[in-house]
Structure 1
Amino acid sequence: MLLSEVMSQQTPVARVAPIWEEWVRRWPDPASFAAAGADEVLRAWGTLGYPRRALRLLECARTIVAEHDGEVPADVDALLALPGIGDYTARAIACFHFGQNVPVVDTNVRRVHERLIEGNFLQPPAAKAELKKVAALLPHDGTGPTVSVAVMELGATVCTARSPECEVCPVRAHCAWQAAGRPAPSAEDAAAAKKRVQKFVGTDRQVRGKIMAVLRSASEPVGMGAIDAVWPDASQRSRALFSLIEDGLAEQNEDGRFHLPG
């Protein structure tokens, strides 16, 4: 589950599924994955995006082998101590895999909480306080993980971002936003929410992805000419390339050619 949660960060499940299946066949446990090289991991990552996640997963697997006898820990604090594992991922693993009654707060849960409890259509930027607020809603009769799944699915399928299907919502009668007359967000809040949506086309992230595609497909180090061909803006191309090197996703050899890390 740790693998699927990290792969699904900011990436649609439809894109993740085939790559996840290949990884599980290739590396069925933390020990086998920990023995992989960074270059083969980055190639296997393909076009999922944010490839630093792949290197963090590799570091995470090696930590699990070294410090937890090759078994993913069940404790939230132990999970948070692993490389690349944040609040959401740690709690999702503890809750959905190990059955612990801990709050799991993603965008869907935040949206449901904001409408159901706070009475607002749009949720504010994420904050640590939301963990305590969501935790207060969880029952302590052993059904907490089931409730967490239900709230997440409610946000994903019914209480959606733009067009909530309130007529079929099972908690409509308890919804503070409904009770308040379904107030629309203020122009200021709507503008802030729109601004938070990340664009991709034309960004350094797009250029980084194009350079990574060249490096992944190459069987040997490539010269600058191959990288120059992926993007017309020389300054942006150079910035993207050297940011990849700084992030440990690419290396330059003594001949001035570029390749994935070994």
Structure 2
Amino acid sequence: MSDLATPLIAWYRETARDLPWRDPDFGAWGILVSEFMLQQTPVARVIPRLEAWLERWPTPAALAKASPGAAVEQWANLGYPRRALWLHRAAVQIAEQHGGVVPRDVDSLLALTGVGDYTARAVAVFAYGDRHPVVDTNTRRVLARSLDGQSQPGPPSPNDLAAMAEVLPRDEEPAAVFNAAAMELGAVVCTARAAKCESCPIAHICAWRNAGYPDTGDRRRRQAAYAGSDRQARGAVLQHLRAASSHESAIETVAAMWPDALQRDRAIDSLIADGLAEASDGMLRLPR
């Protein structure tokens, strides 16, 4: 195995957080749902929503039978609600094209709505035990620091998968553990703001640490502030529809709930364009 793999796997086996999707019996559907929810969302917010989602829709077929609006309503405050629509569409595809079983091969997973390089490989590895490099933001940071001596990773690139593949153990089981371990290290030890090198199992071979922690710049894309943004206006409109009877409300009622009329109208128009809301006969509603 690579120099990184042996100590990192040993550390992970001893210290890994007890998260529901790490249960060996969690299943491919649960892992797919968790990966959708975990995109740009903290673990603590995901866990209760994930449990509620899987209790309501324990299989892709169960979700496929529900309306898109039900998925948006159940998504609640997880943010980026288009993910709920994408997950619903993916469930329909799984039910119609794969006999209700989440596919195993990466190409079939990539063909599902809302599934990209990371999610497809995460499902193939963590649900089915196949050998693929799995690269998220945390993994990219670990590789950038330990291998390249960079304080922060550059923008996402196809080269990220190749870099992870070079250090991935050859056998499937340790490869899966190493994928999870690299993400875990970036999430709890090798964090973006404050690396806890005293707790790091690979500190002794980390190129960034051995170079004296140079500041090599940060080219990560910055997200605009949420407060006062169009995203907040969209969220307020969706929250109103989720809470409304039958998940619909008169447009004039919606119009009165946000102080900036232009921003409110942009929010409503963008929700309709994204398929997150429907308008007819003076009413705004979640999609049916």
TM-score by length of 2: 0.85
Q: Give 1:102-251 correspondences, 5 Å limit.
A: 102-142=132-172, 143-185=174-216, 189-190=217-218, 192-193=219-220, 196-220=222-246, 221-251=248-278
Secondary structure of the equivalent of 2:122?
Answer: helix
CA distance in 2, matches of 1:41, 1:200: 23
Contact kept? 2:237, 2:254, Cα under 8 Å:
yes
Contact kept? 1:214, 1:226, Cα under 8 Å:
no
Cα offset for 1:228? 2.0
TM-score by length of 1: 0.94
Cα offset for 1:207? 0.3
Q: Give 1:7-86 correspondences, 5 Å limit.
A: 7-86=37-116
Amino acid at match of 2:141: R
Amino acid at match of 1:207: A
Identical counterparts, % of pairs: 49
Cα offset for 1:27? 1.0
Map Cα deviations across residues 41-74 of structure 1 (whole Å, 9 max, x no partner).
2111111111111111111011001111110011
Unpaired runs of at least 5, structure 1: none
CA distance in 2, matches of 1:206, 1:173: 44
Map Cα deviations across residues 97-131 of structure 1 (whole Å, 9 max, x no partner).
11111111111100000000100111111111111
Contact kept? 2:131, 2:171, Cα under 8 Å:
no
Secondary structure of the equivalent of 1:150?
Answer: helix
Question: Root-mean-square deviation (CA), in Å?
Answer: 1.3
Q: Which has the higher contact order (CA 8 A, sep 6+)?
A: 2
CA distance in 1, matches of 2:150, 2:223: 19
Unpaired runs of at least 5, structure 2: 1-30
CA distance in 1, matches of 2:257, 2:166: 51
Contact kept? 1:15, 1:48, Cα under 8 Å:
yes
Cα offset for 1:33? 1.1
Secondary structure of the equivalent of 1:16?
Answer: helix
Q: How many residues align?
A: 256
CA distance in 2, matches of 1:141, 1:106: 21
Contact kept? 2:106, 2:121, Cα under 8 Å:
yes
Secondary structure of the equivalent of 2:213?
Answer: coil
Amino acid at match of 1:115: R
Cα offset for 1:141? 2.6
CA distance in 2, matches of 1:22, 1:150: 27
Moved over 2 A (4+): none
CA distance in 2, matches of 1:247, 1:57: 14
Secondary structure of the equivalent of 1:153?
Answer: helix
Secondary structure of the equivalent of 1:222?
Answer: strand
Amino acid at match of 1:83: T
- Which position in structure 2 is the counterpart of 1:89? 119
